[in-house]
Amino acid sequence: MLTDSLHQQTMGKKLILPAEIKICATCSYWDGDRKVDPELRVVVVEEGCAGECLVQSKCCQGLNDEFEWRDDCLWEHLAPDETPDDVQDKQEK
């Protein structure tokens, strides 16, 4: 019983975020703890998550949004780039 209580206290609340919103946790340059589901296009992070911005070389909160960014932010979508095969498949449909 005590172990379960301690486990619940150390786990933060999980947030499920659409990959399209522009926050640090959904940027491909953010190196923090997250789980990405490319099929559902969502990112799962803990409420108070932090990581390193690889562009600015500094620690930042995953939930920082565009109003907190500086001019040197290069937010990039997490979605993988389309390969030539992907483009050809779309054209065939």
Domain ranges, ordered by start, for the chain = 2-79
pLDDT at 16: 96
Question: Strands, E, within 1-93: which ranges?
Answer: 14-18, 30-32, 35-37, 42-46, 50-53, 58-61
Give the pairing of strands 35-37 and 30-32.
unpaired
Could you tell me the pLDDT band of residue 1, with boundaries at 50, 70 and 90?
very low
Query: What is the arithmetic mean of pLDDT over 10-28?
Result: 89
Give the Å distances, CA to CA, from 19 to 58, 77, 84: 22, 7, 23
Per-residue pLDDT band at 69 (split at 50, 70, 90)? low
Chain centroid, CA 62 distance in Å? 7
Query: pTM for the full model?
Result: 0.69
**What pLDDT score was predicted for residue 46?**
95
pLDDT tens for each residue of 30-57: 999 999 998 899 999 999 999 999 998 9
CB atoms within 10 A of CB 30: 26
